[in-house]
Amino acid sequence: MQKSLSLNLSAALMLCVLTGCSSSPAAPSAEPDKPETPAAEPAAETAPAETGTVNTVILKEADDKMINTYTLLAVNPESPFTDADGNPVDGVEVNTAGAEALIDWFLSEEGKELAAAFGQEEFGDSLFYLLDGAPVFEGEITPATEETAQIRLSTTTSVNDSGLLGALLPVFESKYGYKVEVQSAGTGKAIAAAKYGNADLIFVHAKAQEETFVQDGFAYVLPGFDTERLSFLYNYFVLCGPTEDPAGVKDMDSVLVAFKTIAENKYPFISRGDGSGTHTKELSLWPEDLGITAEADSYADYTDWYISANAGMGACLVMAEEMHAYILTDKATFLTFQANNGN
């Protein structure tokens, strides 16, 4: 019975896809290039989802091209803050002491150990790994005072939804007396919140966007560290798709070849399309000559297979499951999705 909602959704999605692209090989048929796939077939092929098990599986993982590095950045109190019209604004308050304490703790032995162990209990495998040569903090962490107790952390959905922060932050809070307010959104919005003076630190995973953030002067080097971008955790994005794997992605040497094959044969692919870190990574994996960027114009010609969902990771996974599509996802969200039986 739990499936009836997702089945309704699938029907609606199917309609969208089919009206938009009658030649889409939405069904994982043996001959994916055949454009005459009858419209009714994809719906029939979706039926196995009713059995209650997730059909989408991890096809490609631990590829160096898919490494996903998580970085902490403290917001510079001297940032060149501007209002919506681009006029400079002075005196924007940033809780630098609170942000510093939290970053110090994340990079301390305790913080790192907890982060690296997260997920072993529930999934039998760590969801995040410690980066070799990650910055280390060995000093004393400053406890909260009345002025510094409230820390505004702007982060990405993958960090929050995986439960990592829920497991880590209470330990930090009870030990040092801080209260961390977590806002989670795609990396794009998470960084924007800091630029609008609404965050004390950010915890994100999109290198290019982080570098722009640093270049624009919104970050600064904390005492005891030598760089603005404090990358300390990583995991791998995984390329998922239907078990049948019509594109044969599983046996390919590199994820770049996999993406090329998906594009050439027009297998349906779900893109987050929301400026998130996952979206940014996905954009970097397509063959350059396709010219796919975050701009809607750039994929206007590919709407028969490239589906820009503009939704969170979980919602996109449900969509991929129902449409038998390929999708790039962070491993943590996928494992949660799988554990929940696609619900």
Return residues touching another protein (CB under 8 A): 1-2, 4-6, 81-84, 89, 91-94, 152, 157, 161, 181-184, 195-198, 311-315, 317-318, 333, 336-337, 340, 342-343
| Closer to another protein by Cβ: residue 27 or 318 | 318
Give me the least distance between CB of 198 and another protein, in Å please: 5
Give me the least distance between CB of 299 and another protein, in Å please: 22
Q: Which residues contact 89 (CB under 8 A, 6 or more apart)?
A: 81, 82, 83, 197
Count the helix, strand and coil residues of the chain and give each as a percent rounded to the nearest 5.
40, 20, 40
| Closer to another protein by Cβ: residue 63 or 274 | 274
At 65, which amino acid appears? K
248 secondary structure, DSSP code: -
Distance CA 173, CA 166 (A): 11
Give me the least distance between CB of 43 and another protein, in Å please: 20
| Closer to another protein by Cβ: residue 82 or 227 | 82
| Closer to another protein by Cβ: residue 112 or 279 | 279
Give me the least distance between CB of 265 and another protein, in Å please: 27
**248's torsion region: left (phi>0), alpha (psi -120 to 50) or beta?**
left
For 23, 58, 91, 323, the CA distances from 42, given in Å and listed in that order, are: 12, 22, 58, 8
| Closer to another protein by Cβ: residue 23 or 183 | 183
Distance CA 72, CA 222 (A): 11
Find where tokens 């046996």 sit. Answer: 251
Find where tokens 């495998």 sit. Answer: 125
For 101, 147, 168, 220, 315, the CA distances from 180, given in Å and listed in that order, are: 11, 13, 11, 20, 27
- As a whole number of Å, the end-to-end CA separation of the chain is 12
Give me the least distance between CB of 308 and another protein, in Å please: 16
Give me the least distance between CB of 273 and another protein, in Å please: 14
| Closer to another protein by Cβ: residue 107 or 153 | 153
For 81, 88, 124, the CA distances from 85, given in Å and listed in that order, are: 11, 9, 50
Is residue 239 within 8 A of residue 297, CB to CB? The reply is no
| Closer to another protein by Cβ: residue 104 or 161 | 161
Give me the least distance between CB of 338 and another protein, in Å please: 10
